[in-house]
Amino acid sequence: MRKFYLFAVLALASLTAFAGNPDRQGEAGAYELLLNPFARSAGLASMQTANVAGAEAMRINVAGIGRVNGLEVNVSNMQYLVGSDINMNALGIASQTGNGGAFAITIAALTFNDIALTTTADPEGSGSVFSPTFFHIGLGYSKTFDDKISVGVGVRFISERIFNASAVGFAIDAGVQYVSGENDEFKLGISLRNVGLSMRFTGDGISTQFEEPVDGRFAITARNNVADFDLPFQLNIGTSYDVAIDPSNKVTLLANFTSNAFSRDNLGAGIEYSFKNLFMVRGGYNAEVGVASGSFEAPLTRAFAAGATAAIPLGGVDTGRNRYLYVDFAYRPTRFFNGNYNVGIRLNI
């Protein structure tokens, strides 16, 4: 049965691996689902499909939830396009449940600075302000078989609110991770993200009110037609390999391919160096296929990403595991504004 799971996902990947469709770019919505607030994985441009673990696996490959060590609490902040006053805050909790099972719950909110409220009657602003709020809450479960194959599934509730109009939806993620080698140095991962029905904005903000055209004796409210929008579906295929230089030093090499249903595909690679699992530095290059970096069609975020982690040992616990407090940082430059910054704190017990 375990081999069947892996075969089924690989077969699906082979059918859709080159499904990128630039002609449909911009037709999807809820693109905040593709933003990664968690600093550790953001330092590798979210390319850890094969080896992501813990709560942040909910943003990359839900199968990685099963690789959590005990209980993990992850609090992260992403400053998106520094200078635009857009932030994404996230809380993630992952825990083992026994018999190879593990669950995770994540809460993320994208917040904006105040925006002046304008209307047709007050195009320069009425003096009032509003702030859009995009909110997600996800729940995932992963099962690991013989410490080699992890299969995971997750569901996410999506809420977008802009003044007096809002949209809600649900997305499903699924993934698998496979570990091999004498010291589990080789890893393979595949994930499907943001599979769900289309969303639509509703509310008073969709309506237009005007006076009755004949003599203006009463007001008429007309509801405008609003188009549905799809979720930004993704297929990710990744691999990683750990190179143990000595007991204290380890280098991890990784590669990742992303097929986007509503934009061009992405291809990238990264490297991470670890010293005694107490200090880690990482960097990656993840670019759209077929687009020159300086062209008009180049994505907003540049291809490079970098990050670092420092671990603080907190002592042992009754289970024999060590407790650690991790501080994560990541940076990715952008074409406009001053880049994206991620800062996070993780507690493993």
Catalogue all structural domains in the chain, each as residue range(s) with its CATH number.
2-205+232-348 (2.40.160.60)
CA atoms within 13 A on the CB side of 349: 8
User: What pLDDT shows up at residue 265?
Assistant: 92
The whole-model pTM stands at 0.87
End-to-end Cα, the chain, rounded Å: 32
**Rg of the chain (C-alpha set):** 22
Beta-carbon contacts of residue 19 (< 8 Å; ≥ 6 apart): 235, 259, 260, 261
User: What pLDDT shows up at residue 249?
Assistant: 96
**Distance of alpha carbon 25 from alpha carbon 146, whole angstroms:** 41
User: What pLDDT shows up at residue 15?
Assistant: 45
The CA angle 315-316-319, to the nearest 5 degrees, is 160
**Distance of alpha carbon 144 from alpha carbon 155, whole angstroms:** 19
pLDDT truncated to tens, each residue of the chain (349 aa)?
444 444 445 444 444 444 556 667 777 889 999 999 999 999 999 999 999 999 999 999 999 999 998 899 999 999 999 999 999 999 999 999 988 899 999 999 999 988 888 877 788 877 888 889 999 999 999 999 988 999 999 999 999 998 889 999 999 999 999 999 998 999 999 999 999 999 999 888 787 776 666 666 677 777 777 889 999 999 999 999 999 999 999 999 999 999 998 888 999 999 999 999 899 999 999 999 888 766 767 788 899 999 999 999 987 544 445 689 999 999 999 998 999 999 999 999 8
User: What pLDDT shows up at residue 128?
Assistant: 84
33: burial class by Cβ within 10 Å (0-12, 13-18, 19+)? buried
User: What pLDDT shows up at residue 17?
Assistant: 45
User: What pLDDT shows up at residue 212?
Assistant: 65
Beta-carbon contacts of residue 232 (< 8 Å; ≥ 6 apart): 28, 29, 30, 31, 33, 34, 194, 260, 261, 262, 263
